[in-house]
Chains A and B, each alone.
Chain A
Amino acid sequence: MIDKDVSRTFLLIFSTLFISIIVILNLNMLVLLAIAIIALSISLLLRINVKSMLKFVIFFQGFFTLSSVIAQIMVFDKIVYESLALSNIKMFIFVILSFIFAKYVTTTGLIKLFKKISVNAAVAIALAVKFMKFFPDTWSLAYRTYSVNYDPGSRFSRIKILIMSVKAFINLSLYSALQTAESLATRSTIIFGKEKK
């Protein structure tokens, strides 16, 4: 019998992949509208907190727009507003989908689903989702600590705080991955039931 976690996970992965393929292959306003309706229906079905989704979207969307502009300036190219808008729309959809994925797909569901296919795939995917969920907290702790401890007086200091936080965030994510891998190594028999006493 398929349990609730597995079926919900399967449904979400399927719809995410399906919508992503439509977006990649054929982006026009009609498809966009369809996607918005599907996303809204899923969000209603899963009782998504709209406020937290908006915060998430604004953060990543802002970050993406800024990095696109910087990237285009760095390659000494003119900013092509049309392509920027197009990539932003794609990014917007991706961000909403990743929000739904990160918030509502459970790690347990993923492990249970994928371990039937491959234990390694289950571990890799479970880790990926775990990190998607933990990124905001890891970032928040690093940034908050540097903001308090490193005098955010001048604009230069604030940039420095941001750079230090980003460096710490990347390394902490790797450290966290190592810790989780250690956890999986010590508990894999219980979770995956590979070898019995």
Chain B
Amino acid sequence: MIKKVIVSNLSVKINKKTILKNFNLELDSGSLVLLRGSTGSGKTTLLRVLSGLIPEFYRGFQVSGEVKVFEYPPIQALRKALITYVPQDPYSYFIGSTPREELSLFGLHINQSSIIDNNLLDKSMHELSDGQLYLFLVKLAYLQKAKLLLLDEPTSHLDESTYNYVMGLMKNYAEASDSIVIVVDHRDDAAKYADYIVKLDNVQDNCYEGLPLVRNKHGDTALVLENYSCFHDGQIIINPISLEVKRGEAVAIYGANGSGKTTLMWGIACSINCKGTRRLSGKVFIIPQTPIYWFDNVPVAEILQKFNKRKENIKSVAERFGLDENLMSYNLSIGKARLLSLALAYLSNKEIILIDEPTIGLDCNSKKSLLETIQKLIDEGISIIITTHNMKFALNFERRYNLNKGTLVEME
């Protein structure tokens, strides 16, 4: 049988740093392949090589070895529309400024399929949640009917039910159209959909279960919201809520894609239009959902230094958070950018830290380090509020809330 994707002795380097070394892979059509590896192990690089973007588009990479996709070099396969690539970062990937424009570019109309909800059609791409953007990209990719479909980290963006829907769709697609779908994923239960699992290193599963965060019992109140509601373009997004968070407490707000989690975070930071009572006993630090979208493109050490209120040694902070201090910030993977934001939150020495979707792009070990860092911070009396669509991660938090269509309810 002819193998449809063949990778022989692939090595990829950038700035003398080896990302992949003598990597081999052979895949048959009609299969869904799960590609696993720790944060920064080269998963995205491999997808970019398979799609022909490296070295054709990203010129700084040195690539050796042979790659064939349906008997063509990757760039030729891409030009023949045999490959579709869904990137890890969906924010700037769209060309149109609204979903309707994007659909029109592809010659599609909304009544052709249920690609996106009607009420999201004319919204600016920036108004869509991370999960809504990613799902839209996946559906567009699906409609292109390519023979090789590459999905970079859908778990990071999609809630449980949407994720299962996407993986089911991909599995059926691979089988029905005799195509290959390669999914990069950190989720432990993704294996049930896969025909093959390819591991780039010894990435672990289930490494942070049974690590519940223990509240620091200082008892003072850090944050109080009473009858607090938030708006966007005059429309209510967060219904009146009440929430109290103590010093040294970590609270998780769980919610599906588009439930209003990001709006609530910016509302707590008082950076958008909200009504009601909001009392804070300290200063706030916010880590936005799009981690890279507020950094300047400078070395990691320089960014850390800007926020170093603790006057700590930057080299040791970088090491503790698994960061290469000399790397330029835009060369970081999404997961590493997330860790950089967390390091900044730590260095800023603020009393309340808000983290929007902390698990985006993180492997199991990085999630474990994240929990350990949160524990250290709450031991110091810092209060942490996170939003997440990952229930397994939320279970480590003593107090959890469910946000559903703008309504917040405490979970058992």
Q: Footprint of B on A, CB under 8 Å? A: 5, 106-108, 111, 126, 130, 133-134, 137-138, 141-142, 144-151, 164, 167-168, 171-172, 174-176, 179-187, 189-191, 194-197
Quick check: B79 and A130 within 8 Å, CB to CB?
no
Q: How far is the CA of A132 from the CA of B173 in the complex (A)?
A: 37
- Are A197 and B81 in contact, CB atoms less than 8 angstroms apart? yes
A187–B89 CA distance with the chains assembled, in angstroms? 16
Write the residues of chain B forming the contact surface with A, with a CB cutoff of 8 angstroms: 51, 53, 56-57, 78-85, 87, 89, 91-97, 101, 104-106, 124-126, 144, 266, 269, 271, 283-286, 288, 290, 292-297, 306-307, 330, 344, 348, 350
16 A-B residue pairings within 8 Å (CB atoms): A106-B97, A108-B105, A134-B92, A134-B125, A142-B294, A144-B271, A145-B286, A149-B350, A151-B283, A171-B296, A175-B292, A179-B89, A179-B93, A183-B92, A186-B78, A191-B106
Q: Are A196 and B80 in contact (CB under 8 A)?
A: yes
Q: Is the CB of B124 within 8 A of A137?
A: yes
B51 touches A148 (CB 8 A): no
Q: A144-B266, A145-B286, A171-B296 are in contact. Are A189 and B80 (CB under 8 A)?
A: yes
Query: Are A183 and B271 touching (Cβ within 8 A)?
Result: no
Contact A171 B297 (CB under 8 A): yes
- Complex Cα gap A99–B266 (Å): 27
**Once the chains bind, are A168 and B294 in contact (CB under 8 Å)?**
yes
Name the distance in Å between B268's Cβ and chain A's nearest Cβ: 10
Q: Pick the contact of A145: B85, B104, B106, B288 (CB < 8 A).
A: B288
- Complex Cα distance, B104 from A107, in Å, reads 10
Q: Is the CB of A107 within 8 A of B106?
A: no
Pairwise interchain contact A149-B271, C-beta atoms closer than 8 A: no
Please, which residue of chain B has its CB at the minimum distance from the CB of A142? B294
Q: How far is the CA of A144 from the CA of B267 in the complex (A)?
A: 12
Asked if B293 and A141 sit within 8 Å, CB to CB, the answer is yes
A148 & B284 in contact (Cβ 8 Å cutoff): yes
Q: Complex formed: what's the CA distance from A33 to B110 in Å?
A: 42
Q: Is chain A's binding surface mostly helix, strand, loop or mixed? A: helix
- B84, B101, B344: which has the most chain A beta carbons within 10 Å? B101
A183 vs B104: C-alpha distance in the bound complex, in angstroms? Answer: 16
Contact A186 B307 (CB under 8 A): no
Instruction: Give the Cβ gap from B411 to chain A, nearest Cβ, in Å.
Output: 27
Report Cα–Cα, A196/B76, bound state, in Å.
11
What is the bound-complex CA distance between A126 and B293, given in angstroms?
22
Q: Is the CB of A175 within 8 A of B330?
A: yes
Interface centre among B79, B94, B293 (most CB of A within 10 A): B293
Residues of A within 8 A of B83 (CB): 186
* Bound form: Cα–Cα A183–B105 in Å: 13
User: With A108-B105, A171-B297, A197-B81 as given contacts, are A126 and B95 in contact (CB-CB < 8 Å)?
Assistant: yes
* Chain A residues with CB below 8 A from B53, complex form: 182, 185-186
Contacts of B271 in A (CB 8 A): 144, 147-148
The CA-CA distance from A196 to B306 in the complex, in Å, is 51
B304 to chain A, nearest CB (A): 13
Q: Pick from A111, A141, A197: contact of B290, CB below 8 A.
A: A141
A175 — which chain B residues lie within 8 A by C-beta?
92, 292, 297, 330
Within the complex, the shortest CB–CB distance from B79 to chain A, in Å, comes to 5
Given A149-B307, A171-B296: A197 and B97 interface contact (C-beta under 8 Å): no
B78–A111 touching, CB < 8 Å: no
Closest partner residue, chain B, to A3 (CB atom):
B104
Closest to B84 in A: A186
Which residue of B is nearest A175, CB measured?
B330
Q: How far apart are B189's CB and chain A's nearest CB, in angstroms?
A: 29
The smallest C-beta distance from B251 to any residue of chain A, in angstroms, reads 18
Give complex CA distance A189, B284 in Å.
46
List 12 additional contacts besides A141-B290, A172-B293, A196-B80; criterion CB under 8 Å: A106-B96, A108-B104, A133-B97, A134-B126, A144-B266, A147-B271, A175-B92, A182-B93, A185-B78, A187-B95, A190-B81, A195-B81
Using known A-B contacts A106-B101, A197-B81, determine if residue A146 contacts B294 with beta carbons closer than 8 Å: yes
Taking CB atoms, residues of chain A closer than 8 Å to B97 are 106-107, 130, 133-134
Q: Are A190 and B106 in contact (CB under 8 A)?
A: yes
CB pair B344 A149 closer than 8 Å: yes
